[in-house]
Structure 1
Amino acid sequence: MRILQKRTLVLMFLSVAMVFPACQSGKKKDKGGKEEPTATKPRIEKEELEKDVKEFVYPLPTSFEVTEMLNRIGAAYILTLSNSTENVDKYLTEKKQALNLGVYGADLSYASTYNQKQQTMDFMEVSKKLIDALNISGALPADIVDQIEQNEDNKDQLVRIITNTFYDTYEYLNANGRGAVSMLVLAGSWVEALYITTNISENTYQNKEMVKIVMKQKASLNKLLELMNIHKDDPNVQEVIQQLSPLAKVYNMVEENAISEDQMDIIIEETRKVRSSFVE
């Protein structure tokens, strides 16, 4: 995405949602006619804008970033953790299609990170089917499948293509007034990435690196819920917010660099429950 497009999106969302307090300052006249700061009128500084662009246009860690961490610590690829591609035809509502576009996006990133060529293509195919069902095919380059096939032996380039496609889909949804759908896609991707993370080992709590990965998702969950609250009037978004709330409650009880085994067990179970409701 071009920098100008990113800045336009940030400015648009900042003016509507005021989600970056650090960028929010303005002026109003006091009784003496002088202007004083107020929190109701946004004033965007160039430095703050540049700092926020990346995390706002795609405010959560990508599913690739999570699975790359798993790859780095030596966690094996387990195909059965991903949502079966055979399930795609049973997703008939916009909500299910959007959630599982996110789920399959995470599964696709998971497969590509581990250089699973056939699985990568399979997840790309079902993702494309959901994109068509949601009528957002304009977000994808016409030659996306050809790009993937031509680079199937180039892991770095393959991951770059897939990640850019996911970014572009998110941007397209927002640019076309379908922000609620984009929130469902993000929720599906976030839940699936955490589900993979918490189920890739039989004893997650005993793996220090895995624990670090799980704990890092606290901030991204809070950011996700913050953004979803912008679209809370949408019943589908509101339902997902409610599903994620118990998980957020546990996460927000976790102190920095400290998590109990009981808390980890609850996070694993709550993630399983939410994920199950998404893919059923």
Structure 2
Amino acid sequence: MRNQINPRCIIGLVLVALLTLPSCKMGRKSPGDTAQKEVKLDKEKVAKDVREFVYPLPTSFEVTKMLNRIGAAYILSLSNPTTNVEKYLTEKAKALNLGVYSSDLSYASTYNQKQTTIDYMNVSKTLIDALNISAAIDPDLIEKVEAIEDNKEEMITLITNTFYDTYEHLNRNGRSAVSMLVIAGSWVEGLYVVTHITEDTYNDKEMVKIVMEQKSSLNKLVELMNVASDDPAIAETLALLKPVRDIYNSIENGAITEAQVNAITAEIAKVRAAIIE
């Protein structure tokens, strides 16, 4: 890893982390197996999973435009304080909060908060080093992500191809659960910020649309995490996400009520509090 991390590198890490999710399904042992079998990866399946999970999440450019249109100010208190990093002692806590901090980093970067961005870069690097996952990251990933970050099709291709470079390393070292926790933490923090950036989320159509679109992303995340639900950290995180998923799955016909938005807002705050405490 480099001494300083560009915000897009952390975003790239989260995207790469996503790609270990299908790897759990392809590389898990069956009862009685003494060694993990060689599994041929299905590139089209990987690309499909990336497309279904990463998008319709908006690109950073789309988020910036939206925030500018609605006049939403940067609120530092929404982010997880960097001083909290000292509290995260378990692998589960470190991985979840690496995801949280990656979203906070992206949030600060979107608003061009230079010192805050540096602070979140540093704390993210601390967790990356603590989790010993630096070796799984392509050293040229920063430049690659920056070059095409707002081109969805090219980004899908980049993420899919990058997966083949990270798959062997992470699975050889039994790190699939770590990557799931990183992406789960990032998803939770992203939704937390969206639902708390304004006091009246329901009356902002663009915010409501983003909130609604997280239903498919959450269900995809849960579906993939269920494959490794025998891992205690994964099982605990799935239990934490269940109340939010239950609310989302009560939404019908693409229409969300004010009560449902408020319920999601309150529940995601509880989940997030449990992760960062």
| Cα offset, 1:115, TM superposition | 2.2
- Which of 58, 61, 72 is residue 65 of structure 1 equivalent to? 58
Question: Residues of 2 paired with 1:87 and 1:199: CA distance?
Answer: 20
Q: Is the 8 A contact 2:21 2:224 kept in 1?
A: no
Deviations 1:32-91 (A, max 9, x none): xxxxxxxxxxx99x8xx53x4335258633898366544222233222111111111110
What is the aligned-residue identity percentage? 50
Q: Which deviates further from its counterpart, 241-250 or 72-81? A: 72-81
Alpha-carbon distance change, 58 to 132 in structure 1, aligned in 2, over 3 angstroms: farther
The corresponding residue for 1:197 is 194
The corresponding residue for 1:136 is 133
Question: Residues of 2 paired with 1:15 and 1:217: CA distance?
Answer: 25
Q: Is the 8 A contact 1:99 1:184 kept in 2?
A: yes
Q: Which deviates further from its counterpart, 55-64 or 232-241? A: 55-64
* Structure of higher CA gyration radius: 1
Q: Is the 8 A contact 2:180 2:225 kept in 1?
A: yes
Alpha-carbon distance change, 217 to 176 in structure 1, aligned in 2, over 3 angstroms: same
The structure showing larger relative contact order (alpha-carbon pairs under 8 Å, at least 6 residues apart) is: 2
The corresponding residue for 1:33 is none
Deviations 1:2-25 (A, max 9, x none): xxx9xx9798556458xxxxxxxx
| Cα offset, 1:178, TM superposition | 1.1
The corresponding residue for 2:254 is 257
- Number of corresponding residues: 236
| Cα offset, 1:204, TM superposition | 0.2
Question: Residues of 2 paired with 1:9 and 1:239: CA distance?
Answer: 19
Question: Residues of 1 paired with 2:101 and 2:242: CA distance?
Answer: 23
Q: Is the 8 A contact 2:105 2:121 kept in 1?
A: yes
The corresponding residue for 2:216 is 219
Structure 1, gaps ≥5 residues long: 18-42, 149-154
| Cα offset, 1:247, TM superposition | 0.5
- In the TM superposition, 1:173-184 aligns within 5 A as 173-174=170-171, 176-184=173-181
What TM-score results when the alignment is normalised by the length of structure 2? 0.72
- In the TM superposition, 1:62-211 aligns within 5 A as 65=58, 68-73=61-66, 74=68, 75-140=72-137, 173-174=170-171, 176-211=173-208
Q: Is the 8 A contact 1:113 1:159 kept in 2?
A: no
Question: Residues of 2 paired with 1:53 and 1:222: CA distance?
Answer: 17
Q: Is the 8 A contact 1:83 1:104 kept in 2?
A: yes
The corresponding residue for 2:32 is none
Alpha-carbon distance change, 71 to 219 in structure 1, aligned in 2, over 3 angstroms: same
The corresponding residue for 2:270 is 273
Question: Residues of 2 paired with 1:256 and 1:93: CA distance?
Answer: 41
The one-letter code of the counterpart of 1:228 is M
Alpha-carbon distance change, 270 to 250 in structure 1, aligned in 2, over 3 angstroms: same
Question: Residues of 1 paired with 2:105 and 2:148: CA distance?
Answer: 11
Q: Which deviates further from its counterpart, 168-177 or 226-235? A: 168-177
What TM-score results when the alignment is normalised by the length of structure 1? 0.71
